[in-house]
Amino acid sequence: MLKTFHNCLSSIYFLLFGLLFLSACQSMVSKGLLPNPLPEQILSSTVTVNFAPDGRLWRLTPTAQAVYLDYSTDNGKTYQQPVKINRTEQKISAWPENPPALEISSSGRINVLYYADEEQNSTSFFSYSDDNGQTFSSPVLVSTQAHSAMHYMDKMLVDKNDNLYLFWHDTRHDSHHRGQIHHTGSGILSLYYSIHSASDHSQFDNHFLSAGICSCCRTATAFTAAGEPIILARMVHEDGIRDHSLIRMNAKGSWLKPQRVTYDNWAIEACPEHGPAMAIDDKN
């Protein structure tokens, strides 16, 4: 038992070291300390990496006018030629709390989400590849009100059936009065979501999930052992305290009321700009 525990810790340390190494290398590239494999300046501290089911390591890198994807078959030692995702140049937006997202489904579909400054800053775009990253679909808007409401800090999940779940911060003000608890203070917005099957190529349906979300703290998302999505978000409570709550989806597909889980008592009339993280084992 103890040996198994130590082996598990060793694997976790190796993965963490690898991700830290990749992040450090990306930072060094952005500062000109290492050669840049891309034709544009890399946006600092915003690279995203993820492993595919076949063990291939994919890397998503935003630059000033485009987003690039490449992969490694030797755990990040070398990478293949990058592929440009957005064929039309855009003003790419990214920062440490708002990096692009990358998920690879069990079927091999590569799902990409990134941000660009359009009518609203940090507008969310989605694209995917079904040919192992050789070509990508034309990027599409996630929000149905992208022209009038800012939306950002998207999180993406893909379940075992290739269903896509998107969650994002949204400034649609009408959502703050739908029977929710009255939240006081500034830096507050709503959480929206969309669920899409792999075969559905229509516009993303947008659904209100919760008001009272702290505006500058990214949310954390995961699946429970039963395959239901769960969200950990910093929320602004009635007394203005900014603490974390869990929001669960039940087996019937309905969202339960947020449940406060931390009591750090952040009493500040501003966003801490520090989102949570979450991991779930196979028993929860």
Alpha-carbon gap, residue 270 to 187, rounded angstroms: 6
Query: Which residues are CB-contacts of 151 (< 8 A; sequence separation ≥ 6)?
Result: 120, 122, 123, 124, 142, 143, 145, 168, 169, 170, 171, 192
Residue 21 confidence (pLDDT): 46
The whole-model pTM stands at 0.82
The pLDDT value recorded for residue 268 is: 77
Give the H/E segment covering residue 25: helix 2-30
* DSSP of 86-109: -SS---EE-BTTB--EEEE-TT--
Taking a C-beta distance cutoff of 8 angstroms, is the pair 147, 120 a contact? Answer: yes
**Any idea how long the chain is?**
284
Integer Cα distance of 179 and 14 in angstroms: 47
From 145, 143, 91, 94, select the one nearest 118 (Cα to Cα): 91
Block mean pLDDT (10 aa), the chain, length 284? 43 45 48 55 86 96 96 94 95 92 96 95 96 96 94 95 96 57 69 93 92 92 95 90 94 94 85 87 80
List phi, psi (to 5°) of 270. Answer: -170, 165
Domain 37-267, CATH 2.130.10.10 — does that match? no
pLDDT score at 36 = 54
Domain residue extents for the chain: 37-267
Give me the pLDDT at residue 14, please.
43
